[in-house]
Every structure is written in C-alpha cells, then in structure tokens.
C-alpha cells in the first residue's frame, strides 16, 4: 500500500497510527481522518480553519476527564457535538449557529488507533443525546478499528455496541472490547494500557499541547511534574479515629463533670444521714431519759422509803419507850406525892423493890436477846453490840442484802434459777447434738459422700426398693466439690448450692419406681427432693463462664454420666458471681465471701451456726475432711458438756450458799427494834430505883427526902416530855415525808407501767455512756437536778442538730439542682446533659437516684471511659497519627525518588552544546512558618510513654490528646490550610542547577524561575524540564526501550514565537526521547518543522462553515501554501 510518509520509526512504544472524527465541531457529516502512521507530522492551516477543534477531539480521547483539559477554551463537549461555528444577530438577539441543530439526531464519534510494533490499541468515544441530556460511551479496543467499518451505523439504543462485541468476541479470558460508562474508569484503564505512571501523565499531555514558557520553576515542578498528595481519605480515616476518641473523651469529661457535681450531693447526703442518725439518737435519748430517770427514781425512792420507814419505826419505838417511861415516872410521881402526903415509907420501899425486880427481869430478857442478836450478826458479818444508830444502819444494810439475794435467786431475766435452767437446756442440747454427731460419724465412716441424716437414710431406702446403685441415684452434692485454690469461697458456695446439693438425680429407668416409693410410703418421716434425668445434649459451650462465677470455682466429677447435666444446671440456675459487697449491686445474681446472697431484688444471709460449721458442709465425693471435722466437733461437744456440768455444779453451790445467807439475814431482821436489846437503859433505870430505895432507907428526914426525889423525878419527866414532843414532831414530819415518797414512787410505777414490756437494757447502757459525766453521783438529793440538766442538754443538742439538718438539706437541694440544671457553659459543652437528668426529681426524697448515678459513674462508667480512652489513644489514635505522619514522610520520600528518576532522564539530555551541560532538579526543605509548624505538630503530640508507665499520670495522655485535638480541629476547620500543609509537594522548594558535563566541580548555574532569562533560555529550560517530566510520567526508561510506554505528544501553536534554534532544540529533544510529535502550527511556520516531520495534515474551512482535513506530503503542502490554491472548489478528496 502506498504511504505518504517516507520516514519510519524503529522505536518501541505506542504511537498514533490514525485519528478519525465524525460530527465533531465543524467537521460535519463525514469521517475525517489523519494517518501519521506512528511518525512525527504537522497539522497546519489558516487561523480559524479548525486546527484546534480537531486537536481538541484528540485531546478529549486521551484526556477524558474535563478537569485535565479545556483550560483555555470556553467550548463544551456539547458545543462540539452540535457543531457550533459562530453566532448572528437576529431580531430576538444573538443566536448561536450550529451544524447539527436537532439533539435527537445529533451524535459524535472520536476514534484513534495507536500502534506499538504489532500491537494495536484503539480509543473510541461516542456521544449522543437522550432528551436534553448528553450520553457518553468510552471504549478501548485491542484491535485497529475504524468508524466506517466498526461503528456506523450508529444509534442511541446501543445496537452498534452489540454488533461490535459480536464482531470482536473475547479471546480466551481477554476482552477485545472494553466498555466504560464514565471517564474515570476509562482513564485508569488508559493509564494501565499505555504504561503511564499516573494521571499526571495526562496532565502533561495537555501541558505539551498548550506548551508555554514556565514562570516559577518551583511551581511548575510541583504542579505539573509531581502527583498531588492523595491524603484526604487518610485524613478522613484519621479524623474518624479522632472523632471516636473525641466522643470517648467527651463522655469521659462528661462523666468527670457529672461526678464533680454529684460528689457534693453524695457528701451532703451522707452528712445529712449522719445528722439524721444523731437526731434519731437524740430522739431515742429524749424518749429514754424520762424512763431512765423514773426507773432510777423508783429504785432510789424505794431505797429511801425503806430507809426512812426504818427511821420512822425507830422514832415510833423511841417515842413509845419514852411514853412508857414517862407513864411510869408519872405513876412514881403520884406515889411520891401520895407518900409525901401520907408518908407511907415502908410501902414505898416495897413498891420500889417490886419495880427493881421487874426491871431486872426485863434486863435479863434483853441480855438474852442481845446474845442471840450478836450470834445472828456474826453470821451475816455485821458488828455485835451496836449502838442505836448503828443498829438501824445494819438493819438497812441487811435488808438491802436480803433483797439482792432474793432478786438473784428469783429474777426472771438474770436469776440463778433461770441460769440453771439455761445451763441444763444447753447441756441437754449438747448431749443430743453429741448423740447426733456420733450417729453422723458412724454414717460417714460407712460411705464416701458428705450427706448424712434422714435424707441419706431415705436415699438408702430408695436404693433398696429400686435395687439401684448409689452411682445410679446420686446426690447432686456428691458430684460437686470446691476447687482447693478457691477454698476461701467454700462457705459461700456451700450456702448457695446447699439446696440443690441435697437433691437426688433419678434416671428414667428408676423414675416410676422412685415416684411409687415416695408417694405411697406412709412412714417417710422426712423430706426428699429429686430431679428427673432425661438424656439430652447440653449446649454448655454456649453458656457463659464468667471469670468469678461459682462455676469457675468448682469442679464436677466428670466420670459421672450426669456431669454435663449438672454443669448445665449450675450455669443456668446457680451461676452466681463471687464478688465484694461494693460490687454486689452490679450483678443480678451474686454472693459475697461472707455469704450475703443476691438474686434479683432478694437478698439473704443465713448466719445460723448450722450453716457456718464445716462439719455440716455437703459438697464433695470424699468425706475424709468431714470425718475429721465431725470427730473434732464431737471432741468439742464433750468438752462443752463437761464445762456445762461444772457450771451447773458451781451455780447450784452458789444457790445453796445464797439460800443459807438469806435464812441468816431473815433471822437477823427479826430484831427490828433497838429497845429489844437495849439492856443499858434498863440497867440505868435499875440503878436509879435502887438509889431511890437506898436513899429512903437511909434518910432520917423522910418527907424532905421524898420531896427531893419528887422534884428530881419531875425534872426527869419534864426532860422526857421534851424528848417525846420532839420525837412526835420528828415522827409526824418523817411520816409525811415517807407518804410523799410513796406518792412519788406510785407515780413512777404508773409511768413505768406503760413500758414494762419493753427491754430498755441497751438503751439505758447507751444513755449512761452518753451522759457518763452528767450522771456521776446520781442519788436522792441530786436526781432532780441531774434530770433537768440532761433534759436541757438533749434539747440543746437536738436544736443544734435540727438547725444543722435544715442547713444541710438546703445545701443538698442546691447540689441536686446544680447537677440537674448546671451552668449554661456545662449545658453548652454537653448538649445531651438533660438526657441523663430530665427524669430526676429535685425533692430531697429523690436523692437516692442521684447517689445511684454517682456510684454508677464512679465505679463503672468513668473507669470504662478512662480505660477506653487510654486503650483507644494508645492503640488506635497513636497508631493512626503515626501512620499518618509515616504516610506523609513516605510521600516526601516518593517525591525525592521521583526527582531522582527525573534527574536520570535530565542527565541524558544535553542542555547546552558548548560547553556541554545538563540540568538536575533539587528539592530543598520549605521552611515557611505554617509548613514548619505543621511538621512539628506531627511529632509534638507524642506522649512520653516511659514517663507514663512509670508515673501513671493521666495528665500525660490528656496533654497528648489536647495536642492531637488542636491539630485535627485546625485541619478540619480550614480546608485550604489542610490541603496546603498535607500536600507534601508544598514541604519542598524545587530549583534546577546546570552542571558542566566535563567539569563537575565547576559551580553550577541555579535556576529558580525564568523571569530573568531571555526568551530563548526560557524556552530551553521549559523544554528540558518538560521533556524529563514526559520521560518520567510516560514510563520511558533510561534506554528508551520500554515496550509499553506511550510515545506520543501534541504541540499546538508550535514555533509560533520561537526562533529556529530553540525549535531545533525542542525537536532534537523529542527525538532523543523517541517521541512521536503531532505539531500544530500556522502555515507560515512549516519550514521550521520540515526537517523533523514525515508528512502534513492540512485543515481548511468551506464557506466559513464546515472544516475539512486531509493528509499530504511536505512538498505538496509547501506548494499548496505558497500558491494559496487551497480553495473549496479545488478540494475533492
């Protein structure tokens, strides 16, 4: 086949073979085609002929995404498809002129085939309208296609595509025709097919098409030779991590703020509770006080009455004695008076002798009583031969002792009889328990499990009845035991599992027999519980096994056929969490080490001795320990029984001794009047009578003597009358006092009657402990004063505590309001604050709700948030920030690698010939403030982990977080700043240096921008840098032989303002890079390109409407241009 081009390529790489357009711009209704056949050619024609339109079609094929093209044109794809070519003025205004007015019939096809040795790639784009919307199809074919032979006829319903796929079916696994609905996927495939490094290669194609002299070399390298950092997705991922961390931190801050505001609530609540306890104690003291004082008054008044009654009795006896003496003296007075008058001396002497004899008999009687009194006194350890005052004091002492003994013997609460009965009961209970334990020990030695008693006997009866073995019908408890390492929990676990442990497991084979025996047995005499066992599969692996659950602390006898069933039962129904009292509210089912069991809202603790003793434990299949503890229990019981017997003997001895003392005191108290033993008074009277008798007998003047005696007797009578009057007054006063005391005692009894069923023992002890100082010296004289003093003290303290309570209540209510409705700044910071508080009441009776929230935050939520914050910051965020910096650093490294690769290409390009030089690009650190600050912030956030691990200071992590927050908030808030600082190209400043090939030590010439260079130098440096960029982005290797590289560029307006030398440089540069060029230039510049091109494509307009293009030789093109023969009428190709 004849070719217009004589120059052939011998280089590898994809080059343009031909390019076809149909209905593109002013190229209308025909297929217009150029065929460079992989050679460098030139498109020329007059201005406005359609050169740029044609080239824009080629650009659209190779650079499909609009963002990479049409920078200098206002034309749209739609304007090309409709064939807009101008506008005219009409009556209605300016109207656009189009070659294809009807959108429903308009369509456009662009097709270019590239050849790489024997391989072909055809790019196809079709455009048409559906309604007013333009549709597009993008195709890449691995065959040389044409519009005429493969696309037409074209229709909007896609028949042409079906025919195309049918014509070129898949070859093996490879599609011959690849179809793309959008430009992005098409561009990605195009880059891959042509071996281009990145989308920047497409930008470079557009740049070479519009080849202009660069201004800032730094800006040119950054924007046209290097890829923009694709960091946005990574930033958004980092920001997502940050947002999660921010949410956690915000929740943590909110919890901390809530806790801060709730602490005063809890503190004041606790303070209020303490005050209420004090007030309750004071109220109890106020209630106890009158009872306490009335009870003490009762005791004091009773003692005082007894004392005063004895004193009254003494006075009465004394008065009676004096009266008897006075009466006797009156009789003697009368006798003397009579004798004086009648002088019957002998008779008087006889009377005196008779009276002396009577007095002597009375003295003897009193002497005998004194001897008996002294014997009784010796027995009860009081003084013998007392005077009158001591006599009555000893009666009071003996009476008190008699009362104490009687109370000790008969007191229902603390008396010896009760203690004896209690000790007898305790001894009998210990003996019964000893008998029971001995029986239990006998049972244990005959079996291996720990379950004894009637329930064990019933099991044996069932085994005998059913003829089953103990392994077939076991107790659940004998298949479970507490792990040795968990023995501290043994008591608590025994309490939880005791009920289920005492149950039997009855398999299906014996189920009916067991039912019959248990139901029909009239002599069961006990309780038995059993579980019906049916074989089944138990999904134990699906059931949770919490770390501190009961199941984690026990082991099941795995050789038993019931092991899986027991595991299921424990995990399902008894898997209580073993925890502390503080964490107990957290769980639905839990138990403390002290045996407090929580199940839902129910709480239980059984502290009966039977539940605490190890010898009563029932879990386990080995009873050696229980036998040991039972033997020890028997030993302890024997010791206890012996001790009780000794206590009983000791108490019985004390009872007998007290009974003897009581009898002795009773005998002593028979002597209740001092006159009964007062022999001295009688002795004095005898002496007086004897003296009188002797005086009469010796007196010579009998009447005178009688008168003297009468006068003396009258004096004695007068004295005795005075004594008696005094005693009468004293008796009357004392009697009134005793009566008053009895009245007061009766009032005490009436008051205390209402409290007789209440035990005030503990309250009295607490009362006395509280007012120990005030109650010192409490007696009859001080009780009233002390009662008033204590009452006033209680009242004063109650008023003080009441005022304190009111103040605390106000402070507590204020604290509750501060939490529910905090300051505006808090509400603004935590906008969801009310979601936690809107249901809270502000009255004091709702304070417990606040405490629950406080405890939940303090014990659970805040710990969880802090843990999450530390974990997320230490793991995700630190990793994310480090990865983000690493990514940026790697991009910087990639840029430097790219510069190195560009420099490899630049080193091959001869920049100047004499002397020979070459260009090298350099990337230096940009130290602008925002870039430096950003780079510092990428490092400055890192926490000192070693310091944190040592100090555990959370502020270290907090400061790190705040620095991260500051950085990410700034990156988020300012898109322009973010794009600038995260585009690593901006971290570097680029410049070029010209090195002398023969003298590398010679200082290079530095190029930072081209503004100060001549136009030729500007063009040369531009071509050089551009050439290196093309070599890099197109994937042209150092040896120029990359088989899949793209080797085609297009230069519009080539040589328009360049001298021939610089044009030569450009063309020579392209030749060195083995590039095929399509030059677009006005027809007056053809001679510049002539040495480098193989053919010419001439564009011209017909009737200023349609454009046409055809291929021709250089010679023919020059002839046509020089003769100006290109007319519409001439052209008929």
Sign of the alpha-carbon torsion through 1060, 1066, 1070, 1072: positive
Lowest mean pLDDT among 156-165, 443-452, 979-988: 443-452
Instruction: For residue range 910-962, list pLDDT tens digits in order.
Output: 888 888 999 999 999 888 898 899 888 888 888 777 777 777 777 888 888 88
Looking at residue 326, its pLDDT comes to: 85
1053: alpha, beta or left? (left if phi > 0; alpha if psi -120 to 50): left
CATH number at residue 149: 3.40.50.300
Choosing from 569, 598, 622, the residue where a domain stops is 622
Asked, for residue 670, whether it belongs to a domain, the answer is no
Give 788-823 pLDDT, tens digit per residue.
998 999 899 999 999 999 999 999 999 999 998 999
Predicted pLDDT at 537? 56
pLDDT of residue 600: 85
Binning pLDDT at 50, 70 and 90, where does residue 212 land?
low
> What are the distances in angstroms from CA 505 to CA 469, 479, 562, 644?
12, 11, 8, 43
- Asked if pLDDT for residue 969 goes beyond 70, the answer is yes
Phi, psi of 623 (to 5 degrees): -105, 15
**Residue 409: per-residue pLDDT:** 75
Residues 6 or more apart whose CB falls under 8 angstroms from that of 575 comprise 543, 544, 546, 549, 550, 551, 589
pLDDT tens digit sequence for 675-714: 888 888 888 888 888 888 787 767 656 666 777 888 888 8
More confident of the two residues 17 and 965: 17
Q: For residue 156, is it within any domain?
A: yes
Omega of the bond leading into 915 within 30 degrees of 0 (cis) = yes
Residue 542's pLDDT is 46
SS3 of residue 12 by DSSP: coil
Mind listing the pLDDT tens digit for each residue in 386-396? Answer: 888 888 888 88
Write down the pLDDT at residue 545: 61
Residues 6+ apart with CB under 8 A from 72: 210
**pLDDT at 1128 > cutoff 80:** no
5 pLDDT tier (thresholds 50, 70, 90): very low
Mean of the per-residue pLDDT values of the chain: 84
Beta strand 1076-1081 with 41-45 is parallel
The answer to whether residue 175 is domain-embedded is: yes
Instruction: State residue 701's pLDDT score.
Output: 63
Average pLDDT value for residue range 714-726: 87
Domain boundary among 572, 593, 622: 622
Answer yes or no: is 396 within a domain.
no
Tell me what the mean pLDDT of segment 747-767 comes to. Answer: 85
pLDDT at 436: 82
User: Which structural domain, as residue segments, surrounds residue 500?
Assistant: 448-622
pLDDT for res 786: 86
Environment class of 1114 (CB within 10 Å of its CB; exposed 0-12, middle 13-18, buried 19+): buried
Per-residue confidence at 612, pLDDT binned at 50, 70, 90? low
Percent of the chain at pLDDT above 90?
Answer: 24
Helices (H) and strands (E) in the chain, counts: 33, 25
Q: pLDDT by residue (tens digit) across 857-901?
A: 888 888 888 888 888 877 788 888 888 888 888 988 988 988 888
Q: What is the Cα 60 distance to its own chain's centre?
A: 61
Q: What is the pLDDT of residues 11-54, one digit of tens each?
A: 578 999 999 999 999 999 999 999 999 999 999 988 888 999 99
Within a domain: 361: no
Of 571, 589, 622, at which residue does a domain stop?
622
Give the pLDDT confidence of 228-242 residue by residue, as tens digits. 777 888 888 888 888
Classified as helix, coil or strand, 141 is strand
Q: Is the peptide bond before 153 cis (omega within 30 degrees of 0)?
A: yes
Residue 1067 maps to a domain:
yes
Residue 13: strand, helix, or coil: coil
pLDDT for the residue 415:
67
Please determine, for residue 1058, whether its predicted confidence score (pLDDT) is greater than 70: no
Regarding beta strands 41-45 and 84-90, do their DSSP bridges make them parallel or antiparallel, or are they unpaired? unpaired
The pLDDT of residue 779 is 86
909: confidence class by pLDDT, cuts 50, 70, 90: confident
Q: Is residue 471 part of a domain?
A: yes
Total domains present in the chain: 2
Q: How many CB atoms lie within 10 A of CB 388?
A: 15
Q: Is residue 912 part of a domain?
A: no
pLDDT, residue 699, reads 64
The pLDDT tens digits of the residues spanning 545-584 come to: 677 899 999 999 999 999 999 998 888 888 899 999 888 8
**Mean pLDDT of the region 1086-1097:** 86
Closest C-alpha to 1070, from 1006, 1027, 1010, 1104? 1027
């Amino acid at each position: 086949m004849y070719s217009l081009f004589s120059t052939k390529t011998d280089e590898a790489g994809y080059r343009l073979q031909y390019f076809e357009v149909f209905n593109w711009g002013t190229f209308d209704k025909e297929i217009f085609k150029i065929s460079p056949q992989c050679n460098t050619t030139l498109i020329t024609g007059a201005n406005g002929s359609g050169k740029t339109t044609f080239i824009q079609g080629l650009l659209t094929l190779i650079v499909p995404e609009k963002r990479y093209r049409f920078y200098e044109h206002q034309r749209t794809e739609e304007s090309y498809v409709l064939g807009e070519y101008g506008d005219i003025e009409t009556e209605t205004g300016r109207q656009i002129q189009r070659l294809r007015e009807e959108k429903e019939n308009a369509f456009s096809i662009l097709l270019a085939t590239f050849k790489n040795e024997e391989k072909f790639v055809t790019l196809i784009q079709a455009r048409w309208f559906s309604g007013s919307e333009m549709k597009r199809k993008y195709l890449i074919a691995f065959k040389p296609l044409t519009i005429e032979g493969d696309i037409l006829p074209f229709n909007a319903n896609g028949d042409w595509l079906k025919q195309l796929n049918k014509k070129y079916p898949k070859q093996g696994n490879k599609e011959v025709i690849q179809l793309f609905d959008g430009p992005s996927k098409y561009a990605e495939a195009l880059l891959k097919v042509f071996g281009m490094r990145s989308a920047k290669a497409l930008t470079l194609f557009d740049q070479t098409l519009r080849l202009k002299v660069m201004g800032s070399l730094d800006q040119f390298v950054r924007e046209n030779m290097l890829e923009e950092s694709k960091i946005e997705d990574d930033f958004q991922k980092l920001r997502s991590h940050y947002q999660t961390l921010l949410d956690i931190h915000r929740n943590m801050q909110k919890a901390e703020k809530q806790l801060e505001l709730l602490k005063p609530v809890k503190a004041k609540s606790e303070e209020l509770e303490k005050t209420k306890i004090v007030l309750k104690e004071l109220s109890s003291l106020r209630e106890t006080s009158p009872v306490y004082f009335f009870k003490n008054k009762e005791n004091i008044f009773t003692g005082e009455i007894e004392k005063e009654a004895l004193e009254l009795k003494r006075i009465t006896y004394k008065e009676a004695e004096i009266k008897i003496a006075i009466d006797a003296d009156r009789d003697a007075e009368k006798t003397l008076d009579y004798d004086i008058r009648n002088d019957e001396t002998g008779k008087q002497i006889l009377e005196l002798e008779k009276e002396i004899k009577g007095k002597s008999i009375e003295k003897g009687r009193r002497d005998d009583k004194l001897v008996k009194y002294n014997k009784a006194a010796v027995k009860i350890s009081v003084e013998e031969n007392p005077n009158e005052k001591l006599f009555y004091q000893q009666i009071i002492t003996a009476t008190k002792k008699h009362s104490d003994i009687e109370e000790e013997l008969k007191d229902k609460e603390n008396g010896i009889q009760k203690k004896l009965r209690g000790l007898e009961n305790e001894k009998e209970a210990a003996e019964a328990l000893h008998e029971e334990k001995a029986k239990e020990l006998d049972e244990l030695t005959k079996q291996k499990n720990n379950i004894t008693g009637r329930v064990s006997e019933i099991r044996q009866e069932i085994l005998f009845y059913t003829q089953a073995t103990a392994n077939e019908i076991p107790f659940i408890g004998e298949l479970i035991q507490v792990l040795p390492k968990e023995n501290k929990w043994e008591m608590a676990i025994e309490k939880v599992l005791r009920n289920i442990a005492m149950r039997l497991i009855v398999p299906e084979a014996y189920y009916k027999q067991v039912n019959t025996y248990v139901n029909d047995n009239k002599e069961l005499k006990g309780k038995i519980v059993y579980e019906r066992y049916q074989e089944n599969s138990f999904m134990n692996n699906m059931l949770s096994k919490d770390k501190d659950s009961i199941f984690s602390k026990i082991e099941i006898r795995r050789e038993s056929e019931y092991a899986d069933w027991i595991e299921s039962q424990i995990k399902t129904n008894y898997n209580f969490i073993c925890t502390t009292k503080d964490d107990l509210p957290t769980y639905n089912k839990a138990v403390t080490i002290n045996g407090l069991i929580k199940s839902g809202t129910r709480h239980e603790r059984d502290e009966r001795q039977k539940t605490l003793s190890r010898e009563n434990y029932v879990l386990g299949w080995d009873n050696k320990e229980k036998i040991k503890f039972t033997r020890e229990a028997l030993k302890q019981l024997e010791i206890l029984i012996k001790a009780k017997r000794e206590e009983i003997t000791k108490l019985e001895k004390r009872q007998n001794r007290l009974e003897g003392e009581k009898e002795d005191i009773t005998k002593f108290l028979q002597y209740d009047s001092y006159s009964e033993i007062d022999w001295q008074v009688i002795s004095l009277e005898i002496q007086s009578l004897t003296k009188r008798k002797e005086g009469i007998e010796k007196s010579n003047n009998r009447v005178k003597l009688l008168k003297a005696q009468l006068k003396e007797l009258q004096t004695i009578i007068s004295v005795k009358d005075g004594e008696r009057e005094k005693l009468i007054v004293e008796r009357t006063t004392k009697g009134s006092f005793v009566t008053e005391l009895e009245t007061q005692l009766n009032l005490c009894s009436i008051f205390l009657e209402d409290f007789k069923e209440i035990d005030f023992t503990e309250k009295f002890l607490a009362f006395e402990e509280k007012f120990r100082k005030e109650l010192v010296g409490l007696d009859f004289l001080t009780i009233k004063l002390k009662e008033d003093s204590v009452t006033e003290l209680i009242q004063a303290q109650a008023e003080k505590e009441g005022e304190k309570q009111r103040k605390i209540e106000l402070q507590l209510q204020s604290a509750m309001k501060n939490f529910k409705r905090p300051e505006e700044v808090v509400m603004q910071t935590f906008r969801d604050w009310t979601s936690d508080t809107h249901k809270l009441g502000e009255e004091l009776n709702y304070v417990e709700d606040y405490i629950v929230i406080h405890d939940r935050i303090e014990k659970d939520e805040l710990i969880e948030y802090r843990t999450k914050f530390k974990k997320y910051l230490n793991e995700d965020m630190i990793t994310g920030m480090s990865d983000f910096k690493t990514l940026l650093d790697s991009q910087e490294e990639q840029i430097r690698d790219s510069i190195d690769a560009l420099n490899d290409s630049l080193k091959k390009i001869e920049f100047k010939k004499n002397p020979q030089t070459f260009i090298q690009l350099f990337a230096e650190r940009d130290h602008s403030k925002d870039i430096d600050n950003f780079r510092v912030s990428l490092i400055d956030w890192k926490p000192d982990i070693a310091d944190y691990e040592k100090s555990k200071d959370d502020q270290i992590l907090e400061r790190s977080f705040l620095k991260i927050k500051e950085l990410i908030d700034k990156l988020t808030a300012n898109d322009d700043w973010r794009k600038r600082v995260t585009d690593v190209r901006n971290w570097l400043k680029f410049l070029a240096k010209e090195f002398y090939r023969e003298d590398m030590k010679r200082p290079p010439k530095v190029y930072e921008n081209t503004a100060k260079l001549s136009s030729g130098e500007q063009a040369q440096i531009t071509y050089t840098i551009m050439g290196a960029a093309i070599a890099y982005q197109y994937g042209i290797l150092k040896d120029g032989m990359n088989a899949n590289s793209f080797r085609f560029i297009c230069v519009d307006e080539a040589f328009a303002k360049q001298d021939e030398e610089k044009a030569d440089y450009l063309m020579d540069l392209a030749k060195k890079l083995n590039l095929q060029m399509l030059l677009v230039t006005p027809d007056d510049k053809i001679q510049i390109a002539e040495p480098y091109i193989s053919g010419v494509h001439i564009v011209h307009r017909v009737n200023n409407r349609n454009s046409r293009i055809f291929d021709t030789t250089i010679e023919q093109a020059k002839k046509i241009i020089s003769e100006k023969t290109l007319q519409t009428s001439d052209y008929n190709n």
